Structure 1
Amino acid sequence: MKARARRVLGAAAAMALMSGAAACGTSPGADPDTVVITVMGMPAATNTAALELFQAQVAEFEELNPGIRVVGSDVPWDAKTFAARLAGGSAPTLLRVPLTEPPSLIERGQVADIAAEVAELDSFEELNPRVMQFLTDDDAVYGVPEKSYAFGLVYNRSIFTQAGLDPDVPPTTWEEVRAYAAQITERTGRVGFGEITTNNSGGWHLTGYTYTHGGAMIEQAGDGHWVAAFNDRPALDVLKWWQQLRWEDDSMGDNVLGKQEDMLAEFVAGNVGMWVSAPPDLYPNYVAAGGDPADYGAGPMPQAGADATLAGATVLMVNANASAAERDAAVRWIDFRALRPNFDPEIAEETAAAAAADGLPVGVPVLPIYSQEKYEEIQAAIADHVNVPVENFAPYVASLETFEYVPEPVVASQEIYAALDPLVQAVLTDPAADPAELLAEAEGRVNTILEQNQS
């Protein structure tokens, strides 16, 4: 393995991993002249190859940057626990958060302005403005994107074949999904369509599904304040659709209370035919968990007339408690790990070669954090090292060129999702649940949340 490849090793591959956390400052016993930064994004111990890659990357970064020590952590972002850690000064130097979080973190002064540091990066000015608009305020810069995502349908190609469905032609509407799910369950005995409902995931999916019906979750009133907007036909249709699959078709199974990690395990085990996720983000975890790459299918986000899909990003931000030296070190790490392999074709090729040699996925189609032209340039550079069945992503990729990208709620998104989880759980666990009544009750809860976050 070439030295330069080792220096960039893991940057692109690590972008596709779901990880994360530790705190600013110098570790006990460390050289007082050494800058110690703690970074979210270290793969879990169970993901052996990715963890080894991350550790090698840390070693090479430290070799290139004498005087900087990187301490990784695999604790993922959780808005509730990290609010306390940030307030108490024990959060990591580098935060890895969903795009829903920056507005509140910026408003509370919990993340640093890194405009001076990122101005030194060759690639900064070319970052996707659709994401950067949430991370900048006048001349201040509070973060950079690590990766972007959009909802789509994930499905098991082998199960499709067993059920008599064409694995190259996934469903494109919710009615087709319902029909496919019923056929899968009837012919294979497996769950036709799986759903996630806990840990804010039920509200997250209700939001994404509502967008495909042309609905919204919040809207600005005449005074400029955001209010709940989901108590109408689009969200009601989503809840009724869930009821049909669960209680009329019996195509969702009985295990309907779980989060994304639970559904991934069932999907890897071949127990679920279809579900909604961000297909590129999920794929590395699917493979790491033992899933067969040939079985992985990615289709468009099913639609009900809107031609829209929920889109977001994972962004990197620096703790406001970081010193000037720590801010500089954190931005160096961001550039090394997340930006250069998506901007410099030579580094991208070397990174891809190293990742492929270690058995990690290379070439998973993603939403670009730079321009489409830059993305295509990078894809051409890594073409010889692609080890992913890219053709299985073709229906999903084609949809990204035509769908509108709708962002997550811009105020208190995670709190809104948490308030909506019970609705999804209710319609999937209680055949007598009244969707209209549930929406009316939730409207009050969400409006209270919005008022508290805009006062």
Structure 2
Amino acid sequence: MQQRTRRVLAAAVVVPALAVMAGCSGGNGAGDADSGDGKVTITVMGKPAATNTAAVELFERQVTEFEAANPNITIEASDVPWDAKTFATRLAGGSAPTLLRVPLTEPPALIERGQVADIASVASKLDSFADLNPRVMQFLEQGDAVYGIPEKSYAFGLVYNRDLFTQAGLDPDSPPQTWDEVRTAAKKISDVTGKTGFGEISTNNSGGWHLTGYDYTYGGKMIDQAADGTWTAAFNDDASREVLQMWKDMRWEDDSLGDNVLGKQEDLVAEFTAGNVGMWVTAPPDVYPNYIAAGGKPEAFGAGPMPQGGANATLAGATVLMVNATATEAEKEAAVKWIDWRALRPNYDLEVAAETAKASAADGLPVGVPVAPIFTAEAYAAYRDAIADYVNVPVENFAPYTASLDKLEYVPEPAVASQEIYAALDPVVQSVLTDENADIDSLLNDAEQRVNQILAQHK
């Protein structure tokens, strides 16, 4: 592991971003942008969606300021979203951007395939490098090599509509703590308000993603590794059966999941923002900026702990920034400078943090959303103090969620083939949510065979 000299830092990442999924850049691929005169152009992921106009304006202002401070570097950015199915083709074809913005599930495979660069020589010089969270960095470091920098981390929790809770006679300050309580509350919301009590997603790998996170709360795990390094599926167990039976009961007995069960996260964000969904599971800090951008009421947004089935655990992950392996040395240096400018400095340099918070508040962007920090607790506290004058979110509405972060075990996503596993599990979730007579045991048996075939390619 890269040795680090500790420095005094300040905080965790809260730069606005689109939900949990990363954006993918268009334009030219990495490795061909050195002009020979010391100037370099890099293509980067992470520009906010065009619909989030305030975030786009902030991003473009940051690009302008960065280029003024670094006149030899030109930034070309795109808001094209990350797609695991097409990304391998873009990398192989040379059209992937210089700076990759990916979920924490992706680095192991990208590193194994040699598609991302070792940036240790540049990253280790960053003021913030010494205090990056080792729980995230362990996935980005191999020996002395460093393959990425975390932009933000997340942990699953329960997002809920406080207004619908009140209408249904539920206490909006005391969200459900267990899945039994979720089921009871969801039915009450549906019965009293006519809205969907609990929202669920099942496409674009989201069904497998949620099944994984829910499975952890029952003490389950998705894959096992033997002493010889081989991997096998581990989800054909009682924990997964508990989750799938709960979904089946809520869908077909309680009628609290609604009929729109074949959507993706963006679809559920839209329905939740419109006030049509009482509760759902996601990373609350990631969803809130998009909820506000879409016109959601700040006072109606509630965030609670990940409901539990007895294990006191929650799925945790991150969005990480990695450099294309085809990047030149100049491009690697430019990309790391941009990472520092855009993602890190606003959260560890207290003066920059205050300036960024002030500008964001002036633009109407959320400031002070409580997050799962990627730096130390002391640094995060200092950051919160630095931005206190500009906080414009109902921090108290996140209290049940933030209080749970120190109490629950953080369980990472599957160490290998995570997106492929999720894709293989989507049909399982979809079947349970669309077929009242779905055979859970048969579905799990079939999925286990498919996933073992996938895992046979990894060692």
TM-score above 0.5, yes or no: yes
What is the DSSP-based 3-state SS (H/G/I as helix, E as strand, rest coil) of the residue aligned with 2:263?
Answer: coil
What is the DSSP-based 3-state SS (H/G/I as helix, E as strand, rest coil) of the residue aligned with 1:70?
Answer: strand
Per-residue CA distance 1:420-448 (angstroms, 9 max, x = gap): 00000000100000111111111000000
Q: Is the 8 A contact 1:100 1:409 kept in 2?
A: yes
Q: Is the 8 A contact 1:361 1:388 kept in 2?
A: yes
Match status 1:39 vs 2:44:
yes
State the TM-score, normalized to the length of structure 2: 0.94
Q: Is the 8 A contact 2:14 2:371 kept in 1?
A: no
Q: Is the 8 A contact 1:114 1:141 kept in 2?
A: yes
Q: Show the counterpart of 2:334.
A: 329
Match status 1:13 vs 2:15:
yes
Match of 1:24 among 30, 38, 55: 30
What is the DSSP-based 3-state SS (H/G/I as helix, E as strand, rest coil) of the residue aligned with 1:436?
Answer: helix
Match of 1:233 among 216, 238, 241: 238
- Aligned pairs for 1:94-243 (under 5 A) are 94-243=99-248
Match status 1:396 vs 2:422:
no
**Aligned residue identity for 1:13:** V
What is the DSSP-based 3-state SS (H/G/I as helix, E as strand, rest coil) of the residue aligned with 2:232?
Answer: strand
- Aligned pairs for 1:242-281 (under 5 A) are 242-281=247-286
What is the DSSP-based 3-state SS (H/G/I as helix, E as strand, rest coil) of the residue aligned with 2:456?
Answer: helix
Question: 2:157, 2:125 → 1: CA distance?
Answer: 36
Q: Is the 8 A contact 2:16 2:289 kept in 1?
A: no
Q: Is the 8 A contact 1:217 1:228 kept in 2?
A: yes
- Aligned pairs for 1:14-93 (under 5 A) are 14-15=16-17, 20=23, 21-22=25-26, 23-25=29-31, 33-93=38-98
- Aligned pairs for 1:355-370 (under 5 A) are 355-370=360-375
Per-residue CA distance 1:158-200 (angstroms, 9 max, x = gap): 0000111110010000000000000001000000001000000
- Structure 2, unpaired ranges of 5+: 1-12
Question: 1:19, 1:317 → 2: CA distance?
Answer: 12
**Aligned residue identity for 2:383:** I
Q: Show the counterpart of 2:8.
A: none
Deviation at 1:14, TM superposition (A): 3.1
What is the DSSP-based 3-state SS (H/G/I as helix, E as strand, rest coil) of the residue aligned with 1:41?
Answer: coil
* Counterparts in 2 of 1:31 and 1:14: CA distance versus 1, 3 Å: farther
Match of 2:439 among 419, 434, 443: 434
Q: Is the 8 A contact 1:26 1:35 kept in 2?
A: no
Question: 2:68, 2:194 → 1: CA distance?
Answer: 54
Deviation at 1:223, TM superposition (A): 2.3
Deviation at 1:16, TM superposition (A): 6.6
What is the DSSP-based 3-state SS (H/G/I as helix, E as strand, rest coil) of the residue aligned with 1:219?
Answer: strand
Question: 2:148, 2:406 → 1: CA distance?
Answer: 26
Identity of aligned residues (%): 70
Deviation at 1:83, TM superposition (A): 0.4
Question: 1:110, 1:13 → 2: CA distance?
Answer: 26
Q: Is the 8 A contact 1:16 1:280 kept in 2?
A: no
Question: 2:383, 2:31 → 1: CA distance?
Answer: 36
- Structure 1, unpaired ranges of 5+: 1-10
* Counterparts in 2 of 1:198 and 1:270: CA distance versus 1, 3 Å: same
Question: 2:116, 2:172 → 1: CA distance?
Answer: 45
What is the DSSP-based 3-state SS (H/G/I as helix, E as strand, rest coil) of the residue aligned with 2:458?
Answer: helix
Deviation at 1:76, TM superposition (A): 1.8
Deviation at 1:31, TM superposition (A): 9.0
**Aligned residue identity for 2:126:** L
Q: Is the 8 A contact 1:14 1:54 kept in 2?
A: no
**Aligned residue identity for 2:274:** A
Q: Is the 8 A contact 1:227 1:450 kept in 2?
A: yes
Q: Is the 8 A contact 1:356 1:386 kept in 2?
A: yes
Q: Show the counterpart of 1:7.
A: none
**Aligned residue identity for 2:435:** D
State the TM-score, normalized to the length of structure 1: 0.95
Question: 2:376, 2:15 → 1: CA distance?
Answer: 19
Deviation at 1:401, TM superposition (A): 1.1
